[in-house]
Amino acid sequence: MNCVLPKKIGKFSRHWLILSLILLIPIGNGVFAYLIQLHEGLISAGMRTIGIGGAAWGLNICYYIYFAGLTFGGITTAALARLLNIEELKPITRLAELLAVFSLFMAAPCLLSDLGRPIDGALFFPQYGEARSPFFGTFTMAAIGYFFVSLVYLWLAGREDAYHCSQANLPFKWFYKLWAFGYRGTQEESECHHKVSFWLAFIIVPLLVTATSSLGVVFGIQVGRPGWFDALQAPEFVVLAGISGVGALIFLSVILRALLYAEDDPYKDAISQKSLRWLSNLLWILILIYLYFMVVDLLTSVYTSEKIEKIVTTETIFGVYSHIFWTMIGLFVLSFLILFIQFVLKHYKTALMAAAGFMVNIAAVLKRFLIVIPSQTYGTYLPYIHGHYSPTWGEYSIVTAAFAAELLLFLIFLKIFPIIPLKITGTRPSSPIKPWGKTLRTALFAGTLSFGITLAVLGFLASARIGIKPYMDPIVPWSPVIFIIGVMLSLYSPAIYEISHFT
């Protein structure tokens, strides 16, 4: 077996250290802001009670949804590249997987910072979570499910590269051996991984669509909240998540491509124009679909809705939030035109594609703000005063810290592991697997999957209060945790099949 390792793996330059230290400044400021909020309560944030002039959800919820969207876009792109065998996207699959994992890391603090008593929230939900609540799906499938399946996919996809890194004279050998976990580079192992990754990708796509839809359902079933009560919320959340994820991938791919060229890396040509073209064409299609959804939404709310629904829509388009709305529309339309014109002319500019990817992410953040805020400040059927929401420096600091932390994680990973999948030629001869080894592998896989599904079903039924009154504590203590463990075991079963190699 032969492979070429990236040029800068294991080498930490002065510029890298300086940039990493600079990123610690906003991270520290965000931690400081959160400690103040934890001590003083949410009064230090811009959030106030609905009905007395405020909004109960603010910037942190907007960015929780945004980071969850990046996770969806990243891991779904990686899964589709494997599922549909899209060769142009394979060089950026690890970047997509990292975007998914790191973004969900950042979504967690954004969500916790929205809780006035985060410790109570972290303790009470695992004990008393109600499965019939849409928040149950958000916290379990959209948070735990997202994160775990992304982590498993990243781990399995990187085992072969970790094995080759462990064979080279590099620091962090213990890390590479731990990641490889028994991988020996045989033909049989390679074939097994391709089979497992295909079926795992097949499972991931509908799972993530369901999990992302649950975020939209949280808003869409709010019958007493104009601007939210809408059957299109779930598909809109899915498409917008795809837009932000694909846009971020284009932007990051262009930056990574420039870094590899600057360092004269052996993989500097891995991210080709074909890869970027494929992503840019996917992005303009998603933007077009989302613009269609928005037009349908606006027409419905303006012409056929109740008075309060029209008030929310009017304030969004022509009133207090109009500058945010029209900026968001302008960024979406401009990004679409840039990408579509390049598609028609068959002439692509890398800088323009990166600009479009960046702009759609700004537009996606603004859209999430318009989803969350106006329906709280103007969306009440009761004769309350209209509200106002303005984020404080603490909220901005927490969000900025999340972005800085994600960038720092990318920088660290870039120095210790190949961010472009290695080009490997040849394999070691396979060691024949004995019949009992194949039987044991199948039994371990089936047993883990069956046990996981059983726990998930039992945990879900207990959390749904089946057989008891819905206001009572679940019969089985910590039933949401049992459900989450069951989901995690089910998602881990493909890994059990791949790493079980008995000769």
Per-residue pLDDT reduced to its tens digit, 224-251 = 788 888 888 888 999 999 999 999 999 9
pLDDT band for 362, please (50, 70, 90 cuts): very high
Residue 269, φ and ψ in degrees, nearest 5: -100, 5
Stated pTM of the model: 0.90
Q: Answer yes or no: is pLDDT of 118 > 60.
A: yes
Question: Average pLDDT of the chain?
Answer: 86
Query: According to the model, what pLDDT value does residue 87 have?
Result: 86
Query: According to the model, what pLDDT value does residue 502 have?
Result: 57
- Block residue for tokens 């989302």: 290
Q: Classify strands 2-3 and 424-425 as parallel, antiparallel or unpaired.
A: antiparallel
pLDDT band for 393, please (50, 70, 90 cuts): very high
Q: What is the pLDDT of residues 122-177, one digit of tens each?
A: 788 888 888 877 677 777 766 677 778 888 888 988 888 898 888 888 888 889 99
Query: According to the model, what pLDDT value does residue 82 have?
Result: 86
- Block residue for tokens 């990292």: 98
Beta bridge partners of 2: 425
Which residues have CB under 8 Å from 40's CB, separation 6+?
A: none
Q: Answer yes or no: is pLDDT of 434 > 80.
A: no
In CATH, which of 1.10.287.180, 1.20.1630.10, 1.10.3470.10, 3.30.420.40 is domain 18-431?
Answer: 1.20.1630.10
Query: According to the model, what pLDDT value does residue 477 have?
Result: 85
Q: Tell me which DSSP letter residue 474 carries.
A: P
Residue 425, φ and ψ in degrees, nearest 5: -115, 130
In this structure, how many other beta carbons lie within 10 angstroms of the beta carbon of residue 135?
15
Q: Answer yes or no: is pLDDT of 426 > 70.
A: no
pLDDT band for 121, please (50, 70, 90 cuts): confident
pLDDT band for 2, please (50, 70, 90 cuts): low
Read out DSSP for 29-71?
Answer: HHHHHHHHHHHH-GGGSS---TTTT--SS-HHHHHHHHHHHHH
Q: Answer yes or no: is pLDDT of 108 > 70.
A: yes
CA–CA separation, 217 and 224 (whole Å): 14
The crossing angle, in degrees rounded to 10, of helices 59-83 and 187-220 is 140
Q: How far is CA 309 from CA 76, 293, 297, 374, in A?
A: 34, 17, 11, 11
Which residues have CB under 8 Å from 493's CB, separation 6+?
A: 445, 448, 449, 452
Beta bridge partners of 186: 428
CA 265 to chain centre: 29
Query: According to the model, what pLDDT value does residue 470 have?
Result: 78
Q: What is the pLDDT of residues 266-304, one digit of tens each?
A: 788 888 889 999 999 999 999 999 999 999 888 887 776
Query: According to the model, what pLDDT value does residue 503 have?
Result: 52
Query: According to the model, what pLDDT value does residue 378 have?
Result: 87
In this structure, how many other beta carbons lie within 10 angstroms of the beta carbon of residue 157?
18
Is residue 246 within a helix (H) or strand (E), and if so which, with residue range? Answer: helix 233-262
Which residues have CB under 8 Å from 116's CB, separation 6+?
A: 41, 42
CA–CA separation, 12 and 312 (whole Å): 52
pLDDT band for 312, please (50, 70, 90 cuts): confident
In this structure, how many other beta carbons lie within 10 angstroms of the beta carbon of residue 80?
18
Give the closest residue to 277 by CA, choosing from 260, 253, 244.
253
Report, as an integer, the average pLDDT of 391-410.
94
CA–CA separation, 461 and 468 (whole Å): 11
Report, as an integer, the average pLDDT of 415-435.
74
Q: Answer yes or no: is pLDDT of 471 > 90.
A: no
